[in-house]
Chain A
Amino acid sequence: MVATKSKSNKPAAASAAPVKVALVEDKPKVRESWTRLINSFSDFTCVCSCTTGEEAVRIIPTVAPDVILMDIFLPRMSGIECTVRLKELLPQTQIVILTAMDDQELVFMALEAGADGYLLKRTKPADLRAALLDVLRGGAPMTSQIARRVIESFRRKAKTRDETAKLSVREEQILVLLSQGYSNKLIADKLEISVDTVCSHLKHVFEKLHVSSRTEAVVRYMESKNLQP
């Protein structure tokens, strides 16, 4: 029911070849469930499911999926590190981090590492599909807290990094409004621009963030790993 509703909203996606999804998840049961769930959407197909980060780095580039769903807690190579590697190999592929826990700190680290979005594992299938389509469209999801962390991250780096890693005035303006709890729509109204423009600005912000903090994110994750549940 949900799937058909979504399909009717996105006729373009439905008419094209199904979206190729790759899955990286270490728990077999969860992996199986995800695979079946994704395959249950008519416009998505799970082309590959890997159990470890090492396997993912080896296999996923060969299948070239459109979206990668990445569990953040993986044995040995973490989801964060795996994201960094895969983003280098497949810059066009969208990577969505899956977490069981709503932890902004982890999420921000994943975003810095190169992830294009994140999803809670308990997300409803309908929301999951919508979010995946959002990511494919380039509409990076960003909460007020993530926006605030992004601003902080750029301000901290402003002293040391080169100009290319700096936010433009408009970008910063959008981020500040986001951090104050305004939605994309409200921001668009306030700045008298279109929602798409806001999204495109945010996409640029993410690109800059990836460029400037990828490796750093891995290091930071490793450092904090001891205290992670």
Chain B
Amino acid sequence: MSGRRPNFFSLNPGAAGKRSVGLWGGLLFLCGWLTISSAAQQPTTSATETPVAPTPQLGSWIWAEKTHEWQLCRFWRAIDLPPTNQVTNAVLWVTADNQFSLFLDGKELGGGVDWEGLYTLDVTAQLTPGRHVLAVRALNLNDRAGMTFGLRIEFADEQVMEVKSDSDWRLVTTEDDAWENLTEAREEWVSARVVGHSGVPPRWSEPLEILPLSAPSEAGSVAADPTSVPTFSLGDWIWAAQMSDQQVCPFWRAFEIPPNKTVARARLRLTADNEFILYLNGREIGRGSEWREIYLFDVAALLSPGRQVITVRAINSFSHAGMIFGMWIKFTDGEVMQFGSDTNWRIAPADAKGVEKFLTPAPGWATPVVVGRVGVPPRWTLPQNVNIMPKLEPLVIRFWQRPWFQISILVLLGGLTIFSVWLLAQLALQRKEQVLLERERARIAADIHDDIGSRLTQLVLHGEVVQSELDGDSPVRPQLERICEEARQVLATMDEVLWAVNPARDTLRDFTAFVCCYAEDYLKPTGIQCRLEVDPEMPAAPLDLPLRRNLLMAIKETINNTVKHSGATELSLQIHRAGQKLHLVVQDNGKGFDQTQVDRDRHGLTNLTRRMKELGGSCRVISQPGAGCRTEFVVPLQRSRGRFARWLARK
């Protein structure tokens, strides 16, 4: 058992030896008491009376002007009881953050180390008429500090006197040895400062436990009434029968929370010589490595009705070993359940895995032996400190943290990945097909051009040569001329076919050029003036063969309509690109028509509209009698999406 820190009371800056002795006496008494009570007490579920909520009797939390770690504050208050009025009942409540000792008329009544607990004592006997001095010595270890006090005195004439912690209390600032005995406050003593109101967070609204303040007695002596002393629910020091250095002792204990009960408060105290790891229901909730201190856990949020399993994996470095444990649970109906470390625990083998997950002990598990009682040397008589561990919250396992969900997600992701790969493969195949198709188209175009085209050209040339060498009056001449003309027509048509087939012409720019040329050539013999309004920088963006072909057909049809029906003198062809859309407009200045009267089919309008719909575009005809006719085509240019959509649609 190696120590690191001296006992806190001997560290008190102003604590003189004399006072320490007195205090030690009280503490020893308390420890002795604990020993007795723990020997007598077994883990029980005992109903206790619900005490009257003490908060109304308590005053504010008071402290000095400043707060710091390891700060000792001495509070002093005198009360004068009327000489004639008999005290029939007097009860006090007191606690301090973190520890305190209470004196009445210089005599120590006891102390506490758990600020969440409230200590109470009946002082009817002590309060005789005359002046009495209340003194509280409080120590703050860290963080917040404060002392709260309440005393209710009832007199024979039914008068009530209440003394609470407030700014009437004085802070002892002088180095008086027996300050708790002084019946008059010194002038230097300042008023205590109110640092918090009773029941207002961060301070508790209801004490964790109401504990009897241990009455002062001779060190080690047995108190008159065993049930009036706080035990902190602690059991005995227990360990395996065989003790050795570097020993691991996994303690195991299960208990049941009744199904219809709700836990209001639950405090778990333990320590082990030398170290421990604490598990509750399979979850590690804390560790400790100082055997002289108590570790206090608030486990209320972790307990629900049903079987609860506590595992303490204790490790002894060398020499003495031991583990001490106490569980105190208060249900909402006021019932209290408590148990400590005792022989009801089990010890799993040191190398056992997952002990904390066992709901029942395995058959071979050993029973611990009691190796020491609380407060009996060589172990501590009173813990040096109570470590209040951070409040524990139940682990909330969200649905996305559940295995089924994670597996589902993984499966889904896996499925998606496979689907994506498949899609990619399909797209690659599609792309390959596209490339092959383009190559094939290019080949066909080349074949037509090189073979049929050049031969026809030769034919025409030959015909022309023959014609030029004929006599001017030869009757064959006109016929030969007709043959040549016919062949020229075929070549012109072939040009158009080649343009459509040639993949190198799959661009917007080529399309535009082609359509413009077509319109000019077509309109030349008709006498209709052709006006072109084309975006100056028509990009070489791809334009699919079906789109190109259908658009060309549509425009041809529209221009043909104009020539046939409109009687126009001018035709304007407009091609503009707006974002991912291509706008084509054919407008004439002809006689127009009444849109409500006209037979749409006769004008090929139905056909046009259907054609545009197939391309995902639209077609609009605006005309009024005498105001010409305007035909608008809008088609989307996003080839890839269209292709993908088409491919998906095909599947």
Interface residue ranges, A against B (CB under 8 Å): 1, 3, 27, 29-30, 33-34, 36-37, 40, 100-105, 121-122, 124-125, 143-145, 148-149, 151-152, 155-156, 179-181, 224, 227-229
Contacts and interface: CB of A to CB of B under 8 A. Distances in A.
B520 A33 contact: no
B461 A151 contact: no
B531 A180 contact: yes
Interface stretch (B187-195, B338-346, B486-494): B486-494
A153 B498 CA distance: 26
Contact of B468 (A27, A40, A101, A144): A40
Given A121-B457, A125-B468, A33 B517 contact: no
A143 B503 contact: no
Contacts of A105: 504-505, 510, 513
A103 B499 CA distance: 8
Contact of B517 (A3, A101, A102, A228): A102
Given A101-B449, A144-B516, A229-B448, A33 B468 contact: no
A102 B449 CA distance: 11
Residue among A27, A101, A122, A179 with most chain B CB within 10 A: A122
A104 B507 CA distance: 13
A122 B530 contact: no
Interface in B199-213: none
Given A37-B461, A181-B532, A224-B504, 5 more contacts: A30-B454, A37-B464, A100-B453, A105-B513, A181-B530
B457 A30 contact: yes
A229 B536 contact: no
B516 A145 contact: yes
Q: Top 5 closest A-B pairs, CB basis?
A: A227-B504, A33-B461, A229-B445, A229-B446, A40-B468
A104 B495 CA distance: 11
Nearest to B571: A181
A45 to B, nearest CB: 15
Contact of A179 (B448, B510, B532): B532
B531 A181 contact: yes
Given A104-B514, A104-B517, A33 B465 contact: yes
Interface residues of B, number: 47
A34 B454 CA distance: 13
Contacts of B533: 180
A181 B469 contact: no
B531 A30 contact: no
Contact of A148 (B504, B514, B534): B534
Given A100-B457, A101-B453, A155-B536, A122 B468 contact: no
B84 to A, nearest CB: 114
A104 B515 CA distance: 11
A167 to B, nearest CB: 13
A3 B529 CA distance: 31
A227 B506 CA distance: 11
A149 B492 CA distance: 22
A125 B464 contact: yes
Contacts of A179: 532, 534
22 contacts: A34-B461, A36-B468, A36-B469, A40-B468, A100-B453, A100-B457, A104-B510, A145-B516, A145-B517, A148-B516, A148-B536, A152-B537, A155-B537, A180-B532, A180-B533, A181-B530, A181-B531, A181-B532, A227-B442, A227-B504, A228-B446, A229-B446
A121 B461 contact: yes
A121 to B, nearest CB: 5
A148 B513 CA distance: 9
Given A40-B465, A122-B457, A143-B520, A229 B498 contact: yes
Interface of B: 442, 445-446, 448-450, 453-454, 456-458, 460-462, 464-465, 467-469, 472, 484, 487-488, 491-492, 495, 498-499, 502-505, 510, 513-514, 516-517, 520, 529-534, 536-538
B10 to A, nearest CB: 90
Contact of A181 (B499, B520, B536): B520
Contacts of B538: 152
B488 A122 contact: yes
B533 to A, nearest CB: 7
A33 B510 contact: no
A181 to B, nearest CB: 4
A27 B456 CA distance: 13
Contacts of B460: 121-122
Contact of B532 (A1, A122, A144): A144
Contacts of B465: 33, 36-37, 40
Nearest to A125: B464
A229 B531 contact: no
A109 B536 CA distance: 18
Contacts of B462: 29, 33
A227 B461 CA distance: 27
Given A143-B520, A179-B534, A228 B504 contact: yes
Contacts of B468: 3, 36-37, 40, 125
Nearest to B464: A125
A27 B454 contact: yes
A39 B608 CA distance: 51
Nearest to B499: A103
Contacts of A40: 465, 468-469
Nearest to A107: B513
Contacts of B454: 27, 30, 100
Contacts of A143: 517, 520
A148 B573 CA distance: 14
Given A101-B453, A155-B536, A145 B513 contact: yes
Contacts of B529: 181
Contacts of A224: 504
B520 A144 contact: yes
Nearest to B503: A227
Contacts of A104: 510, 513-514, 517
Residue among B442, B469, B495, B503 with most chain A CB within 10 A: B495
Nearest to B495: A102
Contacts of B502: 227, 229
B495 to A, nearest CB: 5
Contacts of B458: 27, 29-30, 33
Contacts of B469: 36, 40
Contacts of A122: 456-457, 460, 487-488, 491-492
B529 to A, nearest CB: 7
A35 to B, nearest CB: 9
Contacts of A100: 449, 453-454, 457, 491
Nearest to A120: B491
